[in-house]
Amino acid sequence: MSSALEVKDISKSFKDYRSEWHRVASWFGLDFKTKKEHHILKHIDFAIAAGEAIGIVGQNGAGKSTLLKIITGTLKPSEGSVHIHGRISAILELGMGFHPDLTGRQNVYHSAGLMGFSHEQIEAVMDDIEAFTEIGEYFDQPVRTYSSGMQVRVAFGVATMYRPEILIVDEALSVGDAYFQHKSMERIREFQKQGTTLLLVSHDRGAIQAICDRAILLEKGTIIKDGNPEEVMDFYNALIAEKENSTVKQVEKEDGKVETISGTGEAKINGIGLYNQDNEILEYIAVGDTITLKIEIESLEEIPELTVGFMIKDRLGQPIFGTNTYHYKKQIKKAQKGEKYEILSSFSMNLGVGSYSIAIALHSSDTHIAGNYEWRDQALVFNVVNTSKKEFVGSSWLDTKVEVNHVK
């Protein structure tokens, strides 16, 4: 497939000169030593195929915005180049350049003009935009009277008035209400089908995993992970939780799933398994069966308080159920070095048919953000099958009684 966007080994640094005259001189070929260079991006290199949807994730200050600005062309890279095949439309901030005293309609003319459209081109789709925003009479009211949700509706309407070859969405959509988010996602998917490449910047795991085919994780100006969204998001979450001295590693398992292990390493997980009542290890579990999750751990150092948590996730990585020993008042106090524990959690498998994974976390209190000793995503994968229950669909099994009465 031909690529819609090629980012070739770009770096960006902001330069501080001893005097601004040195900067002026540098435009004309005279070289002065810069006082300080801030390297924001270092050797970013990737290509996106036409129609692909890419999620860009990273902590604040990782360089996401700078990268987007370089792609949209408002900033020039210090090194490297960006090749774009087609038109880019970006929704970087809601109400981009909207004038508060002008009406929505006038602002559409203004913003679309800023994007380079002619009066005729804008007029041709004005009715569509008005219909799409669904803000009724407000469309002809000054924008200062708008709610932020209304502004984002108009902004999105303008940015997507014509199908761009590349659409960049930076968080902005999270402002809209659920209905509009749904509606804008629909439009994005429609564009995707017609070949639009999507670049989505978000912290929302669900959105990235639902829409993107691929995710890129930026950290301190470099790409540290580029691949399958679920894998990248696991890595990203591990990164947020990790302390400075901890490590993150990913291991590919036999079934092709990638296990992400991170943490500071004061305690470790020795084994995980799902067992039935006869203490047999299970990989396929029947709907409704009572099973036990056994987690074997070992403390490698003296730990004042140790909580063990688990989270069941569906195949898209969306959380299904999770809890920990803290909530059951069963945290381990004053674990000594070398001590081993076994945590048994029993529950009924009331989930729908499908493949699930379990993530395990060893941490100090009720959340994994504080004191993350070890955390494994995709630590265990299992399948739920329906062997004895009536046919049903969905993510959960509800014990249902059905009665049909003939009424007259």
Partner 1 sequence: MLLSLWSYRFFILSSIKTEFKSRFIRSNLGGLWIIIHPLAQVLVYALILSQIMTAKLPEVSTQYAYPVYILSGVVIWTLFAEVLGKSLNVFINNGNLLKKMAFPKLALPLITIGGALLNFGILLIMMFVVFGFLGHLPYHALHWIPLLTLLTLALATGLGLFLGTLNVFMRDIGQMIDVVLQFWFWLTPVVYMMNIIPEKYHALFMLNPMTGIVLGFQNILLYDKAPDTSLLVYPTIFAIIGLALAMLVFYKAREEMADVL
Q: Which residues pair with 95 in a beta bridge?
A: none
Give the nearest distance from C-beta 101 to partner 1 in angstroms: 5
- Does the footprint of partner 1 cover residue 31 (CB under 8 A)? no
Taking CB under 8 A as the criterion, the residue among 9, 14, 145, 251 binding partner 1 is 14
Question: Among 74-82, 200-208, 229-237, 335-343, which window interacts with partner 1 (CB under 8 A)?
Answer: 74-82
75 scored as a contact of partner 1 (CB under 8 A):
yes
**CB of residue 25 vs partner 1: minimum separation in angstroms?**
10
d(CA 265, CA 76): 42
Among 92, 218, 223, 349, binds partner 1 (CB under 8 A): 92
Of 11, 34, 59, 106, the one binding partner 1 (CB under 8 A) is 106
Q: Give the shortest CB-355-to-partner 1 separation in angstroms.
A: 42
By the rule CB under 8 A, 115 interacts with partner 1: yes
Sign of CA dihedral 65, 68, 70, 74: negative
CA distances for 349 relative to 19, 286, 310, 320, 405, angstroms:
69, 7, 15, 12, 31
- Would you count residue 27 as binding partner 1 (CB under 8 A)? yes
Our finding on whether 114 is near partner 1 (CB under 8 A) is: yes
- Provide the 3-class DSSP secondary structure of residue 317: coil
**Interface with partner 1, residue 145, by CB under 8 A:** no
# binding residues, partner 1 (CB under 8 A):
32
Q: Round to whole Å and give the CA distance between 128 and 131.
A: 5
- For 143-163, the DSSP string reads GGG--HHHHHHHHHHHHTSS-
Q: Is 119 in the site for partner 1 (CB under 8 A)?
A: yes
Q: How many CB atoms lie within 10 A of CB 23?
A: 14
Binding test (CB under 8 A) with partner 1, winner from 39, 69, 105, 163: 69
Q: Minimum CB separation from partner 1 for residue 42, in Å?
A: 17
Figure out which of the listed residues 1, 31, 60, 116 binds partner 1, where binding follows CB under 8 A: 116
Q: Which is nearer to partner 1, 90 or 211 (CB)?
A: 90
Judge residue 244's burial from the number of C-beta atoms within 10 Å of its C-beta, 0-12 exposed, 13-18 middle, 19 or more buried: exposed
* β-sheet bridge partners, residue 298: 268, 340
Q: How far is CA 390 from CA 58, 284, 331, 363, in A?
A: 44, 18, 39, 40
The residue among 156 and 236 lying less far from partner 1, judged by its C-beta, is 156
Residue 177's Cα: distance from chain center in Å?
19
Q: Which is nearer to partner 1, 113 or 195 (CB)?
A: 113
Q: Which string of x and - marks every residue 283-302 that binds partner 1 (by CB under 8 A)?
A: --------------------
Cβ neighbours for 17, distance < 8 A, ≥ 6 positions apart: 23, 26, 32, 34, 35
Q: Which residues bind partner 1 (CB under 8 A)?
A: 14-15, 20-21, 23-24, 27-28, 69, 72-76, 88, 92-93, 96-97, 99, 101-102, 106, 109-110, 113-119
